[in-house]
Amino acid sequence: MPHTLSIVGLGPGDPSLRSIAAQKALNDASRIILRTGIHPGIEDQIGDRRVVTCDDLYEALPTFKALYPAIVDRVLGYLNQGDCVYAVPGNPVAGELTVIQLRSAAVAAGHAVVVIPGAGGLDVIAAATGLDLMADGVQTLDALDLREWTERAPFNGGLLDINPLRPLIVTQVYKRSVASAVKLALGNAYPDEHQISVIGWDGAANITAAQLIPLHELDRIRVDHLTSIVVPPVEWQRNTRSPFELFRITSRLRDEGGCPWDREQTHASIRAKVVEEAYEVVDAIDTGSAADLAEELGDLLLQAALHAQIADEAGEFTIADVFEAVSGKLIRRHPHVFGDAVAENAHAVIKTWEAVKSTEPGKQDRPKRDPYRKLPRAMPVQQKIALVEGSDGSTLTETEAGQLARDVSAGLLRFARAGIDPNDLLDAAYRIIRG
């Protein structure tokens, strides 16, 4: 026989914030199931003979993954006997995974479900901090999601999908290990000394209270199941860990009132810088200095940002087109990672890459090209020859190598004095040799 399940919110801790509709549902209920009895402001429910809690399930089950289905089963067991109320702290439609699962299961079993929304933790946080949840562009994250993000490191690329220029609320910072994971995750986007607000329930004063601390101290303070944090936005000049800030800075340099030198540049004028910065990256790799490599990769990325900005101004393409081109290519050409294909070794990966590449628009029915001609024309000839021909294993004596170096240097000097690019001559000569 179908029955009605009423899902209500008990409010964020102050009983006076409980809605009239929620209170009426509680008053009229013959059976009330509390997700937990460990919450301020629900003393009127504890001890009521109509009330049962799920706290024993929290103690018995090791993970939330196992806990939530057990809670759903318990509520459905009571629901099969008659109408009942499932009551949760805060707002039942804000971050309540049991509500999502329970609604689906109850409807599938033929029962009716009524959800009565109410005030939740976000409302109290907004009131305590003065945030406007809509106008201020507030972002919200579950602390458990941030912990999962840190546990995937380093294979998540170190990128946190938040905007440090907008306020951030992190909920469910309920124990020290979670607080530590949140600190580590946010440290990828914010300075260690960035001031954050820790929001919690002050049992002595019976109010929601806020404590201001630097981010790096988050795992050194007391937290519980009612703890959330508010991270205010950073000034844009301190948002230097964000990948998008580079493109905003580049745009500003090119804008009216920006840098006169940057404003004069074209694709052609900074063409040589791309090669130069690439070689400096290679030098950093060869020296083995991680700090130098990080800096030189930044300089190379700046070249990409400048070219994208110049193209955007000319209506050619935007940085979004650049991201789309490379990300789309990587996803398409790695079906063994992002699809159902199988590639058990590097050789198989190359075959898959080339097979997918040959089917892409603009590359079908293209005549096969000489491997040498497929390489970028701007690449130094000696590098192209090495890539195509490889090494034949021959070696030179020290004397022979020295003589050859002197002869080549003399020849290059004569070419330079005559205004001839040696690369062009070498390229032409190699093409003739290859026929």
68-113 pLDDT, tens per residue? 999 999 999 999 999 999 999 999 998 899 999 999 999 999 999 9
Question: Is beta strand 195-202 parallel, antiparallel or unpaired with respect to 207-214?
Answer: antiparallel
End-to-end CA distance of the chain: 87
Burial of 404 (0-12, 13-18, 19+ CB in 10 A): exposed
How many Cβ atoms from other residues are within 10 Å of residue 160's Cβ? 20
pLDDT at residue 298 greater than cutoff 80: yes
156 — pLDDT class (breaks 50, 70, 90): confident
Rg of the chain in Å (alpha carbons)? 32
The CA distance from 406 to 412, in Å, is 10
Mean pLDDT of the chain: 89
Residue 157: band (very low, low, confident or very high) from pLDDT cuts 50, 70, 90: confident
Choosing among 3.40.1710.10, 3.40.1010.10, 2.40.50.140, 1.20.1730.10, the CATH entry for 4-119 is 3.40.1010.10
CATH topology of domain 123-238: 3.30.950
SS3 content of the chain, % helix, strand, coil (to 5): 50, 10, 35
Question: CA dist 141 to 19, 167, 231, Å?
Answer: 25, 11, 11
Tell the residue number behind the tokens 């002869």, with chain if given: 407
d(CA 432, CA 435): 5
Indicate the domain borders of the chain.
4-119, 123-238, 243-332, 371-434
- Fold type of domain 243-332: Helix Hairpins (1.10.287)
Inter-residue contact 375 to 430 (CB < 8 Å): no
Tell me the whole-structure pTM to 2 decimals.
0.77
